[in-house]
Amino acid sequence: MRLIIATLLTLVAGPALACGSDTDCTVLDGDRTYRYYMPDTVEGPIGAVFHAHGYRGSADGAMRNQSLRAMADRLGMALIALNADADDWNLAYRPREPQQAEAREYDYVTAVIEDVADRIDLDRERMIATGFSAGGMMTWTLACGMGDTFAGVVPYSGTFWRSIPPTCPTPATNMIHIHGDADTVVPLEGRAIGPTRQGNVYDALAMYAEHGAQPEAVLAEMPEGLSCFLRENVDGLLLDFCLFDGTHAYSATRVEWAINRILDRL
């Protein structure tokens, strides 16, 4: 009888605990979720790309993006699809809560990292955060508040809501910011939305350059149609600002190039 009960409990509990690219993983007592994808060919410790989706996106949508999964395969890294709390990330000065004093997502991302580490052989020295649009705003938030957690960040077409923080509480990390030079959804100078305003990308980069003691930028033409203002401090940390001809358009190929550029420095 005990064996039968134990077997039944295993059958019931098993699916609830299973998660991956098609099923949500839960953290923070079930309050938040994420999904993950593992390349088939990787053995041993594996790095991870933590992807933050755009406004009203989802981890499920990210996992259905074949370009992201193909990127993970080529990089030989796990793809961790973060999931916002409802429509958007809990970021400081966002339109629905303009009086919010600071980001509330650090506990969530920390919980995701710990849960992922329980499921895979995670190489914590090769974790990269990235995201597009609102997910780019989330990425900037992680760069500032969890800079000592990630080996690098690749924000794409997004930065802080106003106001840009005067500095960051954690050490600088490698950053490659990508943006369309004619973006009207998240303009480089920002735009007003409701009671608040998107931050100015130039101001954010200037703050992070000072935070990381970065030298003057050098302009260079890079792959994937990118014109980049390159910086590297005395510790070898990158701060690249890369523009492409276009508007609010995402390219996983550009993100892959940026991630490889960061990984080459590790």
CATH assignment at residue 241: 3.40.50.1820
pLDDT of res. 133: 98
pLDDT of res. 13: 41
pLDDT of res. 257: 98
pLDDT of res. 101: 55
pLDDT of res. 44: 87
The two structure tokens encoding residue 208: 């992070």
Domain count, the chain: 1
Prediction pTM value: 0.92
- 66-75 helix and 252-263 helix, angle to the nearest 10 degrees: 20
Provide the strand spans (E) within 2-59. Answer: 25-27, 32-37, 46-52
Q: Report H helices in the chain.
A: 2-17, 59-63, 66-75, 106-119, 134-145, 201-211, 252-263
- Tens-digit pLDDT profile for residues 67-106: 999 999 999 999 999 999 888 899 988 887 766 656 789 9
Q: Please say whether the beta carbons of 164 and 199 come within 8 A.
A: yes
- Tens-digit pLDDT profile for residues 5-26: 333 333 444 444 689 999 999 9
Taking the C-alpha atoms of residue 56 and residue 89, their distance in angstroms, rounded to an integer, is 10
DSSP β-bridge partners for residue 219: 229
**Non-local CB neighbours of 5 within 8 Å, separated by 6+ positions:** none
For residue 54, give the nearest of 81, 26, 23 by alpha carbon.
81
Taking the C-alpha atoms of residue 24 and residue 19, their distance in angstroms, rounded to an integer, is 6
pLDDT of res. 4: 40
- Which segments in the chain show pLDDT lower than 70? 1-17, 98-102
Q: Please say whether the beta carbons of 186 and 220 come within 8 A.
A: no
Q: Which amino acid is at 10?
A: T
Phi/psi of residue 27, nearest 5 degrees: -140, 170
Residue 242, domain extent: 2-263
- Span between the terminal Cα atoms of the chain, in Å: 55
pLDDT of res. 16: 44
The two structure tokens encoding residue 121: 């052989």
For residue 180, give the nearest of 134, 132, 143 by alpha carbon.
132
pLDDT of res. 3: 40
The two structure tokens encoding residue 211: 């935070």
